[in-house]
Chains A and B, each alone.
Chain A
Amino acid sequence: MIRLDHVTVTYSGATSPALRDVDVSVAEGELCLVVGPTGAGKSTLLRAVSGLVPHFSGGTLAGRVLVDGRDTREHRPRDLADLVGVVLQDPARGFVTETVEDELAYAMEQLGLPPAAMRVRMEEVLDLLGLAGLRDASLRDLSGGEQQRAAIGAVLTAHPRVLVLDEPTSALDPPAADDVLAALTRLVHDHGMTVLLAEHRLERVVQYADRVLAVAPDGTVREGRAADLLEPGASAPPLVELAQVAGWRPVPLSVRDARRRVTALRGRLAALPPTVTDAPPAGGAPALTARGMHVRYRRAHAVRGVDLDLDAGTVTALMGRNGAGKSSLLWALAGAGPRSAGSVAVRREGRDGGDPAALVPARARELVALVPQDPMDLVYLSSVADECAAGDRQAGAPPGTCAALLARLAGPVPDDAHPRDLSEGQRLALVLAVQLAARPSVLLLDEPTRGLDYAAKRALAAILAGHAAGGGAVLLSSHDVEFVAQCAERVVVLADGEVVTDGSARDVLVASPTFAPQVAKVMHPLPLLTVDEVRAALAVAG
């Protein structure tokens, strides 16, 4: 169905190719997963299949790309619209119209389908993706998962035979990601669709893949079965690492497969006394004390009477479904968002710093720093160096502080690069550096893991641990259970603006059906959350 014949892609002005001599093919009806670290040409590979590379992006393509016999040399992306459906990263940015129904009709109108056929296809696609109840809804008001399904619907109405998706689940919470994946597998199994899908967050997707294309940083691509190609390291889900620790071959790709194999391992570990104990909660005065926090927007109550203490030296995760009030609470704690009732007191360097909402912004950020959901909102200059220099000035820090922090967080970042040309991980590091330059006591992060690959997440976890070790407190909101299991000691779950659970990460995560990480699901009932803990336990067991 898709054939890449010795394809090499070089962008104009680039010194090395983004894809190097790629020679792979995907058969009809396969679900093919494209994996690889950030910056290795995953998106380039997807865009070459749709013709966007090089027709849209410019650059040089050597070799041939054939989709169902059509050569992209002679077919521009628009000429492939009835054959290849493409859903780009962040679908909300690709919407042309205002309502779901108009958006689904858009591709059909461009193809010039007769009105009667359009009506039929519209109803089919609405039903197939469970969008019928949302047909008149405004695209802006949809949740992330609904937007993703609407974007898939918007290309399905053209009846493509190949579907290409760039990170369709990386920005979604677990239930929404499951909805999208269920829709995709239905398309593959019931309708014979060929699906090509790039993804960072493999733990959910990999079990559905028939084939994996692994893109290396140098632009070469290997193809094979998921169980053979995924190696522990930069881009592997927890199950793969667990398999390595436990010595399982072939690698189990779903929790179900792993549970069948785990009995022996679990038996070995269960016989031991509990090896992992959580450190007792740090004593002393909490870094942040919030009482009776209430946030109201006109009629809607986003946060209702939340009491929260953040201890110095701990990383706390704030979890809950979309709309549970996580962002509102973070903004209110930082003193930068609306707060209709309640009080916040922050201690900095052993002294009572006061309530950030009562201080001028320049003082408030020394108490509480917030990294918002879109970190780029904080960045407004046109080069990394300018941004760092401004960051030092505004924080009153000695020149070079920001740049040094950035180098520590993200490694070398070119000084003259435009902040928008950085990878997601580097962008987050830049904003963290700017915010940490003021040496805040409490660090708040709103959904920091969106779009990060495993390596970037590990780096972020180390940064957060470092801030906590330095006597600060960290509160982050996240849907990413694997990341929370890796970095947080305490989990607070919000629902409908109220705290429903507050406890150690282990107690909360192991017990929860939605928030349990893969390792906990496999090792249940043993209270182990991460591969590292399993490894440590095994070391004790000998």
Chain B
Amino acid sequence: MTAPAGRSGPGRAAAVRLGRWSVVALVLASAVGLAAFGWPLLVNPEAGLAHATDAPLVLGVVVAGVLLVVHLALADGGMDVKAVALLGLLAAVGAALRPLSAGAAGVELVFTVLVLGGRVLGPGFGFALGATTLATSALLTGGVGPWLPFQMLGAAWVGLGAGLLPRRPRGSAELVMLAGYGALASLAFGLAMNLSFWPFTLGSDTALSFVPGAPLGDNLRRLAAFTVATSLGWDVGRAVTTAVGVALVGAPVLRLLRRTAARAAFVPAVFVTDRTAEHVADGSADRVPERVVDRSADRSTERPATGEPLPR
């Protein structure tokens, strides 16, 4: 039968390993992403970008490219078949929850899944999960648009951040932390989306419009007024849903995810070369015998040093 699960698995399994290069790639991509999100505050009023209505389109292409590259780096660094399958299934859960929660303003359980998934399966997985979930639900429900790269990056950060939260808190402290983080992250998500798309949605001839080169405070005030007038209800709704979702089902979902991490992960495979192996037959396997070949490196693209099965 399958491996006995529900063991006290590790608190946090890194389903996607982050090597040194992957971390550098994530940091760089996040810097580019931040600049792209905040372009109305950074742009030189003389630049062509400042006056064209299609600035988010140009930047959207840049963000999409950056997302592609960073995913290449993540996949190359260490993604195995279990991580891919988990990513696919969790993204499908996110997409399937969307129609379930449709109807009410901003009710999106997607962020709950993102926060909890990133928490248990690690920052690299959280990043990939955010991007994949948003892309999949857009493909399925028809939400593809120029905003998609931005949404993917924003959601990827939400997952990444959840994976980077302090490890220590457990029990109800953990839930409070995650609910608070979820609420903040989903509010920030809405505000960031507004920031980069506000000049695009509103055009240039209203009193709330983006004015290139105007003092930062003025533009921020106009952005705030625009947000209050349009999306704040949704953003608050989403934040509340996320926090309530974490509070209601956080504990069982965390337990489910940890159980899966323990089942899927990534306990090392050990081969005992000793034939009789009595010590394994009647002892617990925690005591690793002496003559072993550890083949746990299976989940990276690197091959273990011994026993290369295929010719180059």
Enumerate chain A residues within 8 angstroms of B284, measured Cβ to Cβ: 10, 13-15
Report B269 CB to chain A, min CB distance, Å. Answer: 4
A278 interface residue per 8 A CB criterion: no
Closest to A19 in B: B281
Contact A60 B285 (CB under 8 A): yes
Closest to B249 in A: A380
Report B173 CB to chain A, min CB distance, Å. Answer: 19
Contact B252 A382 (CB under 8 A): yes
Enumerate chain B residues within 8 angstroms of A381, measured Cβ to Cβ: 252
Contact A59 B270 (CB under 8 A): yes
Contact A62 B1 (CB under 8 A): no
Closest to B271 in A: A73
Contact B7 A5 (CB under 8 A): no
User: What's the Cα separation between A56 and B275 when bound, in Å?
Assistant: 22
User: What's the Cα separation between A380 and B276 when bound, in Å?
Assistant: 44
Contact B276 A14 (CB under 8 A): no
Closest to A80 in B: B309
Closest to A73 in B: B271
**Majority SS at the chain B contact face:** loop
B218 interface residue per 8 A CB criterion: no
Contact A42 B270 (CB under 8 A): no
Report A87 CB to chain B, min CB distance, Å. Answer: 16
Enumerate chain A residues within 8 angstroms of B252, measured Cβ to Cβ: 380-382
A130 interface residue per 8 A CB criterion: no
Contact B277 A62 (CB under 8 A): yes
A68 interface residue per 8 A CB criterion: no
Report A54 CB to chain B, min CB distance, Å. Answer: 4
User: What's the Cα separation between A39 and B4 when bound, in Å?
Assistant: 11
CB contact under 8 A between A17 and B1, given known A12-B267, A58-B266, A417-B6: no
Partner of B280, one of A41, A62, A76, A420: A62
Taking residues whose C-beta sits less than 8 angstroms from the other chain, chain B's interface range is 35 or more
Q: Which of B1-44 contact A (CB under 8 A)?
A: 1-7
B140 interface residue per 8 A CB criterion: no
Enumerate chain A residues within 8 angstroms of B265, measured Cβ to Cβ: 58
B54 interface residue per 8 A CB criterion: no
Contact A59 B276 (CB under 8 A): no
Enumerate chain A residues within 8 angstroms of B6, measured Cβ to Cβ: 417-418, 421
User: What's the Cα separation between A57 and B298 when bound, in Å?
Assistant: 11
Report A61 CB to chain B, min CB distance, Å. Answer: 6
Partner of A62, one of B82, B268, B275, B309: B275
CB contact under 8 A between A79 and B310, given known A13-B7, A58-B266: yes
Partner of A20, one of B259, B268, B281: B281
A159 interface residue per 8 A CB criterion: no
User: What's the Cα separation between A421 and B295 when bound, in Å?
Assistant: 26
Enumerate chain B residues within 8 angstroms of A90, measured Cβ to Cβ: none
Q: Which of A388-436 contact B (CB under 8 A)?
A: 417-418, 420-421
Contact B270 A54 (CB under 8 A): yes
B214 interface residue per 8 A CB criterion: no
Contact A12 B271 (CB under 8 A): no
Contact mask for chain B residues 285-301; partner A; CB cutoff 8 A; 1 contact, 0 none: 11011000101001000
Closest to A65 in B: B271
Contact A41 B1 (CB under 8 A): yes
Contact A421 B307 (CB under 8 A): no
Report B247 CB to chain A, min CB distance, Å. Answer: 16
Contact B309 A13 (CB under 8 A): no
B167 interface residue per 8 A CB criterion: no
A321 interface residue per 8 A CB criterion: no
A sample of 15 more A-B contacts (CB under 8 A), given A60-B271, A421-B4, is A10-B284, A10-B285, A13-B4, A13-B267, A15-B284, A20-B281, A55-B298, A58-B269, A61-B272, A63-B277, A70-B309, A75-B309, A79-B310, A382-B255, A418-B259
Chain A interface (Cβ within 8 Å of chain B)? 5-6, 8, 10-18, 20-21, 38-39, 41-44, 54-63, 70, 73-76, 78-79, 380-382, 417-418, 420-421
Of all A-B residue pairs in the complex, the 5 with the closest CB atoms, nearest first, are: A62-B277, A58-B267, A74-B307, A62-B272, A54-B269
